[in-house]
Chain A
């Protein structure tokens, strides 16, 4: 083989039984159901599309204003607006199947039974490759505390969804907890096939002229570059203590951000807020990553994952 020819690094990864062409996914809620992005992104080139969170019944979402930019980030309180699982299957999946995209469906509920019902409905749908469970939403039966805030409840949801589906199940962790490792271990014990982290960090912002919150919901989820160091730290903590693949999410804007997550041990990453700013962000990151691997002489992404040298530069 001609050595001067550029080689193509191996980008394929397997996330808990789901074979991905590459480790770049879209974060739920930042890519709709894919339609809006087709002028900009070849959906088939993505590692996976994680669609906007789906619930048993359609949800209208929160009153506006729903978003606010803050320092190096944005707050959102969209309120999990979605078409509901039946309309998703009927109206959104045919489009995604036509594009031959790898589809992971993010699901949530207000009760454990709702999570199970949504999972069951998606179980035999052609084109759905895996489920990602959003455990950041309020648990109505337990006074609105997030499912993901307590290890016992988080594992209960994970176990319940696992028994309701044959699909691989990823659990997306909320960072609004005291000990992320404890939660990660509990969902792994419950049978999660992979863990993604982090969801948004709860925050708020105030209009000082009117003395009102900038969001109608008062609080919202912070995303964007502001949260990347927190996400990276949490991924680094979690990969040391679980055996299932970990997917890094939080403030990834370019390939350099993505590389940090791979180096600390993430097996794949999700791109979120960056999709809003540059609609080709996922493709730019994928290409940037390939270029980095070629230039570094790395022929398989696996040779980069988890290569952090914690002893630093001392020796």
Chain B
């Protein structure tokens, strides 16, 4: 049996702080890299050095052909040791990349209106979803509306790019420094009340409390809402069982599913809450 290497080597083209603690990393990939689908992720490690010991999962922020090479963009916030080390890597540094991994968002061509609800860094996979839809042949026939929330205005990294792809963008901040003063789900809920007829397709990614709030207000709705989940991972391929999250199956029994392999995208109604 032919053995394939698990990782490819990618070169950092840029790794720039675009907002306080928020970085945009662009990587040049070899042509063999399989194009990712929105919602999929990659595992990243600095080549031949540690810490960190384990790879770190990042959702794909963008992917495109740049001249003859492939380019992958990651948007991340420094939250711990791994991201702190990544933020210090200079241009030209090599990374080991494994991916694309996981099951991404499903796009239902019959639902022409997409609502994206992003909390914090949840904007990254949703922005890629918007880019992906816009670049497709029928991309212009989709209406994309986004709701973007962050702790404070300076944390709204990625907003500028997302706005250009949406017909409407609603903003909230926890401290009221920009847009609605409060949680992004409250903002969405107000708009949901005025929403009649067909439920649009909702896509979301953000912190746990936000997802839970959204799950609560969508309970009983007939709509379709997919959520990209986040959990610490070791292997990224479903072997370590480190990234388990509780899911309710069809018999209403709770079981654990792996974010890396069974997700990271799940139907929001399948999530089990304590």
Is A280's CB under 8 angstroms from B234's CB?
no
Please name the residue on chain A nearest to B81 by beta carbon: A69
- Give the interface segment out of B8-16, B22-30, B50-58: B50-58
Is A64's CB under 8 angstroms from B50's CB?
no
1/0 per residue B221-259: CB within 8 Å of A? 000000000011111011111111110000000111000
Is B1's CB under 8 angstroms from A280's CB?
no
Residues of the A chain whose Cβ atoms lie less than 8 Å from the Cβ of B53? 69, 72-74, 224-225, 273, 277
A64 to B234, CA, bound (A): 13
Asked whether A277 and B3 contact (CB < 8 A) given A30-B239, A81-B256, the answer is no
Number of A residues whose C-beta is below 8 Å from B?
Answer: 36
Confirm or deny: B261 has a beta carbon within 8 angstroms of a beta carbon on chain A. Answer: yes
**Closest CB-CB distance, A46 to chain B, in whole Å?**
12
Is B3's CB under 8 angstroms from A283's CB?
yes
Please name the residue on chain B nearest to A76 by beta carbon: B242
Residues of the B chain whose Cβ atoms lie less than 8 Å from the Cβ of A276? 54, 234-235, 239-240
Is B242's CB under 8 angstroms from A78's CB?
yes
Confirm or deny: A66 has a beta carbon within 8 angstroms of a beta carbon on chain B. Answer: yes
**Closest CB-CB distance, B8 to chain A, in whole Å?**
13
A39 to B256, CA, bound (A): 24
A73 to B81, CA, bound (A): 13
Select B241's contact among A78, A225, A275, A278, beta carbons within 8 Å.
Answer: A78
Confirm or deny: B34 has a beta carbon within 8 angstroms of a beta carbon on chain A. Answer: no
A61 to B243, CA, bound (A): 12
Residues of the B chain whose Cβ atoms lie less than 8 Å from the Cβ of A305? none
A76 to B234, CA, bound (A): 10
Is A279's CB under 8 angstroms from B1's CB?
no
Is A65's CB under 8 angstroms from B231's CB?
yes
Confirm or deny: A36 has a beta carbon within 8 angstroms of a beta carbon on chain B. Answer: yes
Asked whether A66 and B242 contact (CB < 8 A) given A60-B256, A81-B256, A280-B5, the answer is yes
Is B3's CB under 8 angstroms from A74's CB?
no
Residues of the B chain whose Cβ atoms lie less than 8 Å from the Cβ of A91? none
Residues of the A chain whose Cβ atoms lie less than 8 Å from the Cβ of B235? 36, 275-276, 279
Confirm or deny: B4 has a beta carbon within 8 angstroms of a beta carbon on chain A. Answer: yes
Confirm or deny: A288 has a beta carbon within 8 angstroms of a beta carbon on chain B. Answer: no
Confirm or deny: B194 has a beta carbon within 8 angstroms of a beta carbon on chain A. Answer: no
Q: How large is the interface on B (under 10, 10 to 19, 20 to 34, 35 or more residues)?
A: 35 or more
- CB within 8 Å of B: which of A10-56? 29-32, 36-37, 39-42
Residues of the A chain whose Cβ atoms lie less than 8 Å from the Cβ of B4? 39-40
**Closest CB-CB distance, A188 to chain B, in whole Å?**
32
Confirm or deny: B169 has a beta carbon within 8 angstroms of a beta carbon on chain A. Answer: no
- CB within 8 Å of A: which of B13-50? 45, 50
Residues of the A chain whose Cβ atoms lie less than 8 Å from the Cβ of B7? 278
Confirm or deny: B82 has a beta carbon within 8 angstroms of a beta carbon on chain A. Answer: yes
Confirm or deny: B167 has a beta carbon within 8 angstroms of a beta carbon on chain A. Answer: no
**Closest CB-CB distance, A126 to chain B, in whole Å?**
22
1/0 per residue A63-103: CB within 8 Å of B? 11111110111101010010000000000000000000000
Residues of the B chain whose Cβ atoms lie less than 8 Å from the Cβ of A31? 239
A76 to B242, CA, bound (A): 7
Please name the residue on chain B nearest to A283 by beta carbon: B3
Asked whether A278 and B240 contact (CB < 8 A) given A69-B53, A72-B51, A73-B53, the answer is no
A32 to B237, CA, bound (A): 10
Residues of the A chain whose Cβ atoms lie less than 8 Å from the Cβ of B241? 61, 66, 78, 81
Please name the residue on chain B nearest to A40 by beta carbon: B6
A124 to B269, CA, bound (A): 43
Please name the residue on chain A nearest to B259 by beta carbon: A64
- CB within 8 Å of A: which of B75-108? 81-82, 98
Please name the residue on chain A nearest to B7 by beta carbon: A278
Asked whether A67 and B242 contact (CB < 8 A) given A72-B50, A81-B256, A277-B55, the answer is yes
Is A81's CB under 8 angstroms from B244's CB?
yes
Is B239's CB under 8 angstroms from A41's CB?
no
Residues of the B chain whose Cβ atoms lie less than 8 Å from the Cβ of A275? 235, 239
Asked whether A277 and B239 contact (CB < 8 A) given A69-B82, A283-B3, the answer is no
Which 6 A-B pairs have CB atoms at the shortest separation, nearest pair first?
A: A67-B242, A276-B235, A279-B6, A276-B234, A32-B239, A36-B239
B interface residues, Cβ below 8 angstroms from A: 1, 3-7, 45, 50-55, 81-82, 98, 231-235, 237-246, 254-256, 261
A interface residues, Cβ below 8 angstroms from B: 29-32, 36-37, 39-42, 60-61, 63-69, 71-74, 76, 78, 81, 224-225, 273, 275-280, 283
19 extra A-B contacts, CB within 8 A, seeds A37-B237, A74-B234: A36-B235, A39-B4, A40-B3, A42-B1, A42-B3, A61-B241, A61-B256, A66-B244, A67-B233, A69-B52, A72-B50, A76-B240, A78-B242, A78-B244, A225-B53, A273-B234, A276-B239, A278-B6, A279-B6
